[in-house]
Amino acid sequence: MALPVAEWRGRAARLWAALDPALRERLAAASLHDAVRLGCDLLRTEEEAALAQLCHRAATDKKPEAASWYREQGNREFKRGRYQAALRLYSKAASHELPGSPEVSVCFANRSAALLHLGHFEVCLEDIARAESHGYPDRLLPKVLLRKAECLLCLGRLQDAQDILRVLESKIALDGVMTTHLTRLKKLSQLKVKLGEKERCPEPAQEACGGIQGKPEIWEENSRISGASSSLGLGFDAERGRHLVASQDIVPGQSLVKEEAFVSVLCPGESLPLQDGDTAWDTGATNADLYCHRCLRQLLASVPCQGCSYAKYCSQDCADMAWQQYHRTECSLGALLLTLGVFCHVALRTVLLAGFAEVSRLVAWSHCGDKSLQNPEASCKPLSEAADAGAGSRGVPGCDSNGRYQSSYQALFHLLPHAEQHSPEHKFLCTLTVVAICKQLQAAGLEAAVLSQESPQQQPKPKTCENTSDGLSPELKTVAEAMLRHVLQLQCNAQAITVMQELGPGDGAVVDKKPVRLATAFFPVLSLLNHSCCPNTSVSFSGIAATVRASQPISSGQEVFHCYGPHWCRMRVAERQQLLRQYFFECRCPACLEELESGVKSVVSIRNSFCCPKCQAQMQGEEDILCCSNEACATSTSRDHLSGRLQDLQHQIKKALGLLRVGKADQAIKMLLKCQMDAGTFLSPEHLLMGEMEDHLAQVYATLGKWQEAARHLKKSIEIVEMHHGPLSVETGHELFKLAQILFNGFAVSEALSTIQRAEGILSVHFGPQNAQIQELQEMKACLSELPRNILQRT
């Protein structure tokens, strides 16, 4: 997904293989500037035509016929009382309707009904207003007005509700009573009765969410590095490049970096099924349906883009800002960008956000400093002239003239592209792809928008697809060069923005969540952190903002590390080193050194090992045949055989979870218990899968309200998670959070309180006191401490 689709990669590979060897050599040695020039000649009309063909699969234009189909599906779900699914389908419908059409107003009105049922009254009112402003048919208005009154009533805005009811009454009187209005009249009188009741005994004004608020964090910003804490310093040397070092002692949980992404692009991701069965259109919800295209906030009632069916926003403000900053250029290229992958999309958006003036300034600068990229400022250009400002950071790439490092395009531009280390073939693919995008920009008449970002808003998207232009304008060549640099930089510097996404319908008492990759982004300050497989920090995200916190004490002078993905708890050293090869360095962290030098077997491989089917001792061997470690037993089995059993087991577990989803909890339990028995005969007791099964069992028992059983299984899962990830890890924190919910629901008060305490302690180190889970834990605690004493004593 980061890279272009397989077919396009294949085409580029074939083209590369067919090139004259001399030309291949020239390309391999070419600077980014020359690579783009050569790429322009090599991208032929055939390739462009093939690419256009591929784009049909990812169409992002509006299709009114899809809209009406989605709306019908939404209505069906609505009638079945599945309001959440209906809501999403109405949103999909709205994204395919033409803006300003009566049809789109009907989508918003229908969606408002689902929102009312789900209790989102404020958002419901917004959708009603949207429906009204998009020309909702007059004859249907009474229905919507009634809904509005009901909403206002629920919000305690009695006067407003009364006003609406008055308008309604006069409207109905005017139209004369028709049969279709009879039910509405009934509803109206019901509402009036309710209104009267509320007026007689007004409820106390709703308290603003209990008033439980975490303590504000202490945060003092670094004067030399934007978004970094004053407890950090910027270091630079040949071996480590730029890096961050603690300039004073740091305690666990302390925030070290708070940075908003310079640029981020939503990853389309997999789709979650909204409905069962296959249908004509995709009814799944992807990241694009669930999160704001610009700020990544979770969507409830999305605002669709005026031009495409892909981009959806949390608000009109976000839609307008995205349009202004980049989407007016990207909108008509939606399918192309989806086909060519997130990295290229990030590269394009980076250039659009930076503005052409800044892009061409830095590209021009890079031409005179190409030979000394390690320390460009020292050799060239007045980017860091100030003589003694910032003794420590002077001459560090990416710093401004005052020796200050900021989350800016300049800093981003200086992230290492490692142009010489990428394989020539990969560089060729990236070049060809970037050139293809720029040619499309030119062909679609978007060049002006790219070059002058301040040009008039709401340009009608001109679609003059003349395929006459054989070359790129010099300006677009500069854009292509910058984009190529960014695509290459992303391989080492792309930061995934992840969130914990709720699994399942989200109406259970215990919420199960899993981490999901939401977007790919550039964080120039976060990029200063080097990798370690046993990092001393933890990163969390809120929208497009990242926060890095110390996950353990860091003493003054120590380097601050962040894990790029391969964590020592999750992978063995060989796998880690393999993954880290894409970053062009060999990890020398304590975990790697220990495992490599002393030949210590990774804890991962011991814990996730197979055990002897006969005597349950650990199986050994690196080859295809595994032998029992118990010499007296001497059993041996083929690795393939055991791997096959493991696969079968995973398949069975999936089936059991499927049963749970369709409400067959008892059968799910039976199946999971059988899986557990089976697993016990060939997996080590500490195997992660053993823990996962315990976790699933806990979940099933929780849906049945059997809290004690649920807690028993979850505790076993926690033991295994602790063993793998450590007792203070995020993973353990999430498990404890679940246990707290189960104990809370089961009124195991004192145990619940101590579990809440532990979960809070761990999660606040990783996510800070404002985190939603922490707030929830505090609410549980408040609720438990308010219970009458006699209940407390009973437990």
Which residues of the chain form contacts with Zn ion (CB under 5 A)? 292, 294-295, 297, 305, 307-308, 311, 314, 318, 331, 533, 587, 589, 592, 612, 614-615, 617, 628, 630, 633, 635
Which residue bears the tokens 């999430």? 734
We find the least distance from the C-beta atom of residue 267 to Zn ion, in angstroms, to be: 16
Residue ranges of the alpha helices (H) in 247-341? 287-290, 316-322, 328-330, 334-340
CA distance linking residue 617 with residue 681, whole number of Å: 10
Structure tokens at 311: 């981009």
Pick the closer one to Zn ion by CB: 117 or 297: 297
The neighbour count for residue 239, using CB atoms within 10 Å, is 7
CA distance linking residue 697 with residue 685, whole number of Å: 16
We find the least distance from the C-beta atom of residue 615 to Zn ion, in angstroms, to be: 3
CA distance linking residue 331 with residue 576, whole number of Å: 39
Pick the closer one to Zn ion by CB: 424 or 726: 726
We find the least distance from the C-beta atom of residue 332 to Zn ion, in angstroms, to be: 8
CA distance linking residue 521 with residue 8, whole number of Å: 23
Pick the closer one to Zn ion by CB: 335 or 721: 335
End-to-end CA distance of the chain: 52
Task: Specify whether the CB–CB gap between 384 and 400 falls below 8 A.
Answer: yes
Task: Specify whether the CB–CB gap between 524 and 398 falls below 8 A.
Answer: yes
- Positions of E strands within 597-736: 619-620, 625-628, 636-638
Provide the edge-to-edge strand list for the sheet that holds 495-502: 263-266, 513-522, 495-502
Q: How many alpha carbons lie under 13 Å from residue 780 in its C-beta half-sphere?
A: 31
> Crossing angle of helices 45-55/424-443, nearest 10°?
80
CA nearest to 465, candidates 485, 449, 491, 442: 442
Q: Which residues pair with 550 in a beta bridge?
A: 537
Pick the closer one to Zn ion by CB: 332 or 741: 332
We find the least distance from the C-beta atom of residue 70 to Zn ion, in angstroms, to be: 18
Element at 538 (helix H, strand E): strand 537-542
CA distance linking residue 291 with residue 302, whole number of Å: 9
Pick the closer one to Zn ion by CB: 533 or 762: 533
We find the least distance from the C-beta atom of residue 256 to Zn ion, in angstroms, to be: 20
Structure tokens at 6: 């397989």
Angle (nearest 5°) at CA 538 between 537 and 540: 145
We find the least distance from the C-beta atom of residue 642 to Zn ion, in angstroms, to be: 13
We find the least distance from the C-beta atom of residue 681 to Zn ion, in angstroms, to be: 11
Give me the torsion for CA of 468, 471, 477, 480, rounded to 10°: 70
Phi, psi dihedral angles at 685 (to 5 degrees) = -60, -20
Pick the closer one to Zn ion by CB: 406 or 577: 577
Pick the closer one to Zn ion by CB: 19 or 596: 596
CA nearest to 549, candidates 395, 337, 704, 767: 767
Pick the closer one to Zn ion by CB: 122 or 163: 122
Pick the closer one to Zn ion by CB: 167 or 633: 633
Pick the closer one to Zn ion by CB: 113 or 295: 295
Which residue bears the tokens 């997904």? 1
We find the least distance from the C-beta atom of residue 63 to Zn ion, in angstroms, to be: 14
We find the least distance from the C-beta atom of residue 431 to Zn ion, in angstroms, to be: 27
We find the least distance from the C-beta atom of residue 78 to Zn ion, in angstroms, to be: 26
We find the least distance from the C-beta atom of residue 498 to Zn ion, in angstroms, to be: 18
We find the least distance from the C-beta atom of residue 372 to Zn ion, in angstroms, to be: 29
CA distance linking residue 437 with residue 32, whole number of Å: 16
Pick the closer one to Zn ion by CB: 151 or 604: 604
Element at 37 (helix H, strand E): helix 32-42
We find the least distance from the C-beta atom of residue 323 to Zn ion, in angstroms, to be: 8
CA distance linking residue 166 with residue 59, whole number of Å: 47
Helix (H, G, I), strand (E, B) or coil at 250: strand
We find the least distance from the C-beta atom of residue 573 to Zn ion, in angstroms, to be: 7
We find the least distance from the C-beta atom of residue 636 to Zn ion, in angstroms, to be: 9
Pick the closer one to Zn ion by CB: 264 or 527: 264
Pick the closer one to Zn ion by CB: 375 or 630: 630
Angle (nearest 5°) at CA 608 between 531 and 569: 20
Q: Which residues pair with 530 in a beta bridge?
A: 561
DSSP one-letter code for 80: T
DSSP one-letter code for 220: -
CA distance linking residue 446 with residue 692, whole number of Å: 51
CA distance linking residue 174 with residue 170, whole number of Å: 6
Task: Specify whether the CB–CB gap between 732 and 726 falls below 8 A.
Answer: yes
Residues with Cβ < 8 Å from 52, sequence gap 6 or more? none
We find the least distance from the C-beta atom of residue 251 to Zn ion, in angstroms, to be: 24
We find the least distance from the C-beta atom of residue 316 to Zn ion, in angstroms, to be: 10
Pick the closer one to Zn ion by CB: 373 or 534: 534
Q: How many alpha carbons lie under 13 Å from residue 83 in its C-beta half-sphere?
A: 16
Phi, psi dihedral angles at 668 (to 5 degrees) = -60, -45
Pick the closer one to Zn ion by CB: 504 or 565: 565
The residue length of the chain stands at: 795
Pick the closer one to Zn ion by CB: 301 or 784: 301
Structure tokens at 559: 């380097």
Pick the closer one to Zn ion by CB: 106 or 308: 308
